[in-house]
Structures are given as structure tokens and as C-alpha cells.
Amino acid sequence: MTTKTRSMFATTLVALCLPAAAAQAHVTLQPAQAPAGGFARLDVRVPNEDDANATRKVELQMPPGFASARYEPVPGWRVAVSMREPDAPAQGGEDAPSEEVDTITFTAQTASAGIRPGEFQDFGISVRLPERPTGTTLSFPALQTYAGGRVVRWIGAPGSDEPAAQVTLTAAVDDPGAHGDETAATEPAASAADDGGDGLAIAALIVGGLGLIAGTAGLLVARRVRAT
């Protein structure tokens, strides 16, 4: 293989690897799975894929069904949570929420707080996942704004150049099963207590029997002494 051929081969490999590397450098939610209807911490992971500018703002669009969201403070960043009216009629009567989370926006307050080239930042949020069938995929479109004014729209389908973050719902936490495990754990203790009670009762019967025997023997000895 000539030097020119090797150079062309290396260039081709680099070109093939670049799209794969770029596809990995997008806004994601960690973990990518969470139980339906359960509470979970999700980390909005934001890598900087710009070689010259820092990320200054991230806007995360929430799918329907999130009644509230709490966020973990990050030094140098301001977090704003905006709400909207649910598209579907509220369920649950008067206690049902009249609004749901629309967008969570993370904004750097100083130049040093931005996500610089080669860095990434996790923004923690605590939410309750909506009640949906197991296997349902929730999409979280995001806008990433750089210091130079460029905006990357992570809103595409999986496998696209700019895919939206996604979370797949797993089976809901089985509370009856948890109670069952708790009951099973307490049953051996109850059995042990019963065994202990039976043992004490048997010991008491033995002691009582021995006392009766000793009393009878003493009575017989006393009678013999009197007879002599």
C-alpha cells in the first residue's frame, strides 16, 4: 500500500467516524428508563459539541403528563420552570392538577458558568412520571444555545442528526408485592416467637412435674419417719 493510498484510507475512516461521534454528542436524559407513575431523578446531560463556543442556555420541552418538577441547583446557572394547561381534561376531580410542566430552562449567569468545549454538564430534576403503558417512549425536545448565537435543535427522531432525548417507561412499582415481601419477612419472626412460647410452656410443665415428684417423695419420707 502506497503512502497516498494509506492517506486516503485514513481520511475515509475519519470521515466515517465523524457522523457517529457527532450523533453521540446530543442532549440526553439519564437514565433512559423509569417506572411509569413513579418518582425518579432524571439528569439532563448536555455535552458541548462546539469547538469554539460555550453552551449558554438549554431549554427542555416536557411531554404531557408532568404535574410538577423540582430541580437541583447548579452554581452559576438559573433555572426557570414554565407551566401550561393540559391538553386532555384533568382526571381526579377537584384534586386533579389544572396545569402541567411545559418547559425547563437552564441559563448560565456568567461566562465562566457556561459549558465549555470538551465539557458536559448534568442538570438534575425530580419528577413523577406519567401513568402510561409499559414500553411507552417519552420524547423531550431540547434547544441548546451557544455563546456565539448558534442554536442546535435536538428535536428529531431517533437515529437522526439531531435526535430528541427519550425516556422509556418500565413497569410500575408493585406496592402489593412490596407489602408481600414485608409480610414474608415478618413471618419467620412470628414463628420464632411462637416456638419460644411453646418452649417456655414445656419448661414450666417439667419444672412443675419435678416439684410434684419432690413433694410426693418428701411426704413419703415423713410418713416413714413417723411410723418408726
Over residues 2-17, the mean pLDDT reads 45
| pLDDT beyond 60 at 5 | no
| pLDDT beyond 50 at 145 | yes
Over residues 152-172, the mean pLDDT reads 97
More confident residue, 87 or 33: 33
| pLDDT beyond 60 at 161 | yes
Q: What is the pLDDT of residue 97?
A: 74
Confidence class of residue 173 from pLDDT cuts 50, 70 and 90? confident
- Residues shown for the chain: 228
Q: Mean pLDDT for the chain?
A: 78
Backbone angles phi, psi at 96, to 5 degrees: -70, 140
More confident residue, 225 or 43: 43
| pLDDT beyond 70 at 24 | no
Q: What is the pLDDT of residue 142?
A: 98
Per-residue model confidence as pLDDT tens digits over 111-137: 899 999 999 999 999 999 999 999 999
- 185 exposure class (CB count in 10 Å sphere: 0-12, 13-18, 19+): exposed
Q: What is the pLDDT of residue 8?
A: 45
Over residues 167-196, the mean pLDDT reads 54
Over residues 197-201, the mean pLDDT reads 52
Provide the CA 72 distance to its chain's centre, in angstroms: 14
Over residues 19-36, the mean pLDDT reads 78
Maximum CA pair distance of the chain?
132
More confident residue, 213 or 112: 112
Q: Which three cell numbers stand for residue 201?
A: 410452656
Confidence class of residue 169 from pLDDT cuts 50, 70 and 90? very high
Q: What is the pLDDT of residue 25?
A: 76
Provide the CA 193 distance to its chain's centre, in angstroms: 38
Q: Which three cell numbers stand for residue 16?
A: 466515517
Sequence letter at residue 8: M
Over residues 72-98, the mean pLDDT reads 82
Q: What is the pLDDT of residue 13?
A: 42
Q: Which three cell numbers stand for residue 112?
A: 465562566
Count of CB atoms situated within 10 Å of the CB of 97: 14
| pLDDT beyond 90 at 19 | no
